[in-house]
Structure 1
Amino acid sequence: MAVALLLVLLVSVFRLIENRTQAFSAASVLISGIALAGVAASLTLQGQQTKAARDERDRATHRQMIYLTMGDRALAECLEPPNTPMPFERYRQIIFANLIMGRWYAAYQLGDVDESTLRYTLERHFRGEIGRSHWEYGSHDWLQGAIGGQHRKATAFVKIVEDSYRTAVNAGPATPAADYFTNAGTDVGSLDS
């Protein structure tokens, strides 16, 4: 398509300019301009790819550090203290719920998840005690990050999460974590019975 357009432009230049030397000069300028635009587009794309790779490296490093702190209370004490004292097990659950929220945030930012899918996912997430506890604990940080950020999608994400959380709270109490699972039948095959 681009090649056909270029050929049409070149033929038009040659038809409009009767002096062949001037026509070749004009065509040369046109081709140089297109080449320069191509280089600029390539550099822009490379910059975006470099930023994406750097961001993913940073996220991977962050995840690894979080996984280490979730397994070691002494390392978890290197993080900021909880807003309110809580058992270490609950703190681990909230940190893991934050990792889940971070994954949804990244998927929404990249366009892998649309608003309706995100709302559906959050509706299910906030039915449970841990999801609600996480948002009660960490919503301030998410809200501050969105307000201080420069991306409209970040702000939109946090608004969707906050709306979903408020809807869940207004719908009634959360399912207690102790009621998530039963002790009966540990074999997946027993679910088919």
Structure 2
Amino acid sequence: MALRALHTDLLKMAIDEPALLECWGPIEDATNLEWFRKHVYANLIVSHWQLMWEVDVLSAPHLEALADQFFKGQVGRRFWAEARGPRRKAETSRRARRFTAIVDRRYLLAVAAGPAMNEPAAAVPITGPESLPGREAVKGRATVFAVGVVLGAAAVLAGRRRGRDACPPASRGR
């Protein structure tokens, strides 16, 4: 779990500081900084799903629903088109390969269903509390808190599963 948190922190640093993005090596259309940041963020989303999948708190139907929503948009489709090959090659466990196969199947179904939904034509200006000074600091703390909550919950669930697996067979189910 600590390795995943470190990976997330490294990616978040690169998203927050665009000059660091090039340290990750080229991604398709690497000259487009906006796309590069979206690609890295989409990777965080899919990696989060995979973490939940690996600790057995995300079911196949729920993963399919998440992927279906993700692939309605252009960003999700473009990300997976670029990442699917490397992810499929990198998976070493049967569970990880199943995760990737489910996501890939939902991607292929989305592409076969027709074009992605268009992105908003124009950004809506930010007003209200979002535009106040210190917004970045609050947002950063909220992100760290959210990542901590997810990782903490995953650790608790993994611990429960280990405890359940440690029970002698005769005491299970009673």
CA distance in 1, matches of 2:95, 2:21: 31
Secondary structure at the aligned position of 1:153 is classed as: helix
**Structure 1: which amino acid aligns with 2:99?**
F
For residues 108-157 of structure 1, the C-alpha deviation after alignment (integer angstroms, 9 at most, x for no partner) is 111101111111111111001111011011111111112xx0x2110100
**Structure 1: which amino acid aligns with 2:103?**
V
Tell me which residue corresponds to 1:131: 76
Tell me which residue corresponds to 1:107: 52
Asked if residue 60 in structure 1 is aligned to residue 60 in structure 2, the reply is no
Tell me which residue corresponds to 2:20: 75
For residues 158-190 of structure 1, the C-alpha deviation after alignment (integer angstroms, 9 at most, x for no partner) is 1001100000000010012235x8749978xxx
**Structure 2: which amino acid aligns with 1:109?**
E
| 1:182/1:78 CA distance change after superposition, 3 Å | closer
Q: Give how far 1:90 is off.
A: 1.0
Tell me which residue corresponds to 1:6: none
Q: Which of 81, 86, 110 is the matching residue for 1:141?
A: 86
Asked if residue 158 in structure 1 is aligned to residue 100 in structure 2, the reply is yes
Tell me which residue corresponds to 1:117: 62
Q: Which of 85, 89, 92 is the matching residue for 2:37?
A: 92
Q: For structure 2, which runs of at least 5 residues remain unmatched after alignment?
A: 129-174
Tell me which residue corresponds to 1:169: 111
CA distance in 2, matches of 1:110, 1:126: 24
Q: Give how far 1:84 is off.
A: 3.6
- TM-score of the aligned structures, taking structure 1 as reference length: 0.61
**Structure 1: which amino acid aligns with 2:86?**
D
Q: For structure 1, which runs of at least 5 residues remain unmatched after alignment?
A: 1-55, 188-193
Secondary structure at the aligned position of 1:78 is classed as: helix
**Structure 2: which amino acid aligns with 1:162?**
D
CA distance in 2, matches of 1:135, 1:176: 17
- TM-score of the aligned structures, taking structure 2 as reference length: 0.67
Q: Taking every aligned residue pair, what percent have the same amino acid on both sides?
A: 27
CA distance in 1, matches of 2:30, 2:126: 35
| 1:132/1:68 CA distance change after superposition, 3 Å | same
Larger relative contact order (CA 8 Å, sep ≥ 6): 2
Count of aligned residue pairs for this structure pair: 128
CA distance in 1, matches of 2:100, 2:87: 7
